[in-house]
Chains A and B, each alone.
Chain A
Amino acid sequence: MRPTQAIEAGFIDPVDDANAVFRQVLDALAHPGRIVEIARPTRVPRGSLGRAAIGVAMALADFETPVWLDEAAAPAASHLRFHCNCPIVSKPDQATFLLAAEPASVPALATLPLGSDTYPDQGATLVIEVQALDPDGSLSLEGPGIDGRARLGVAGLPAGFWEARRALAALFPRGIDLLLTRGDLLVAVPRTSTVRGS
Chain B
Amino acid sequence: MTQTLAGYNFAYLDEQTKRMIRRAILKAVAIPGYQVPFGSREMPLPYGWGTGGIQVTASIIGRADVLKVIDQGADDTTNAISIRRFFARTAGVATTERTVEATIIQTRHRIPETPLRAGQIMVYQVPIPEPLRWLEPRETETRTMHALSEYGAMHVRFYEDIAHHGRITTTYDYPVIVNDRYLMRPSPIPKFDNQKLDMSPALQLFGAGREKRIYAVPPFTKVKSLDFHDHPFSVESWDAACSLCGSTTSYLDEVLTDDQGGRMFVCSDTDYCRSRTS
Contacts and interface: CB of A to CB of B under 8 A. Distances in A.
B36 interface: yes
B60 interface: yes
Interface string A7-33: 000000011101110110110011100
Interface in A116-146: 116-118, 120-121, 123, 125, 143-146
Interface stretch (B19-27, B47-55, B232-240, B242-250): B19-27
Interface in B13-44: 15-16, 18-20, 22-32, 34, 36-37
A146 B179 CA distance: 12
A121 B36 contact: yes
A60 interface: yes
A191 B29 CA distance: 10
Contacts of A191: 30-31
Interface in A161-179: 172-173, 177
Contacts of A198: none
A18 B34 contact: no
B181 interface: yes
Contacts of A120: 31, 34
Contacts of A146: 220
B212 to A, nearest CB: 13
Interface in A181-195: 190-192
Contact of B27 (A14, A15, A64, A121): A121
A23 B62 contact: yes
A62 interface: yes
Contacts of B31: 120-121, 173, 190-192
Contact of A65 (B23, B37, B203): B23
A191 to B, nearest CB: 6
B60 A23 contact: yes
Interface residues of B, number: 42
Nearest to B59: A22
A69 interface: no
A60 B23 contact: yes
B34 A16 contact: no
Given A26-B60, A30-B203, A146-B220, A192 B179 contact: yes
A178 to B, nearest CB: 10
Interface stretch (B123-131, B141-149, B153-161, B254-262): B141-149
A65 B26 CA distance: 14
Residue of B15, B24, B61, B222 with highest tally of chain A CB at under 10 A: B15
Given A60-B23, A144-B220, A190 B143 contact: no
B112 interface: no
A65 B22 CA distance: 13
Contacts of B146: 118
B153 to A, nearest CB: 17
A18 B16 CA distance: 11
A145 B179 contact: no
Contacts of B186: none
Contact of A18 (B18, B36, B147): B18
Given A30-B219, A192-B179, A118 B32 contact: no
A14 B30 CA distance: 25
Nearest to A15: B10
Interface of B: 9-10, 15-16, 18-20, 22-32, 34, 36-37, 59-63, 143-144, 146-148, 179, 181-182, 201, 203, 217-222
27 contacts: A14-B15, A15-B10, A16-B10, A18-B15, A18-B19, A19-B60, A22-B59, A26-B29, A29-B26, A30-B219, A31-B219, A62-B16, A62-B20, A117-B148, A118-B147, A121-B34, A143-B179, A144-B221, A145-B29, A145-B219, A172-B181, A173-B31, A173-B181, A190-B31, A191-B30, A192-B31, A192-B179
